[in-house]
Amino acid sequence: MKKPMVLTFVVLAGSLALASCTGLNRTEQGALSGGVIGAAGGAALGAMTGGVSVLGGALVGGGAGAAIGAVTAHHR
């Protein structure tokens, strides 16, 4: 029962994220893409290691990715 609900949430969140990408400058695009990539990576590491919760890994990875993406957006 939980799996379909989680899948629905992921699909809706992904759709919202894609829809909100229009009209962003380079810094905002870098922060958004870095945050998404970092959250996915952090969640995956949290799930694989078991030491950190998936949500905790996603939060830390998303925050770090957003910060790095925003800073490095000017260097492209």
pTM recorded for the entire structure: 0.65
Q: Are 42 and 28 in contact (CB under 8 A)?
A: no
Q: How far is CA 52 from CA 28, 39, 60, 64, 72, in A?
A: 28, 13, 10, 16, 27
Q: How many residues does the chain have?
A: 76
Q: Which two tokens stand for residue 55?
A: 């949500």
Question: Where does residue 76 rank: exposed (0-12), middle (13-18), buried (19+ CB within 10 A)?
Answer: exposed
Dump pLDDT digits (tens) for 44-54.
888 888 766 77
Task: Output the pLDDT for position 27.
Answer: 85
Dump pLDDT digits (tens) for 16-71.
766 666 778 888 888 888 888 888 888 888 888 876 677 888 888 888 888 888 88
DSSP alpha helix (H) spans, 1-76: 2-19, 26-49, 54-72
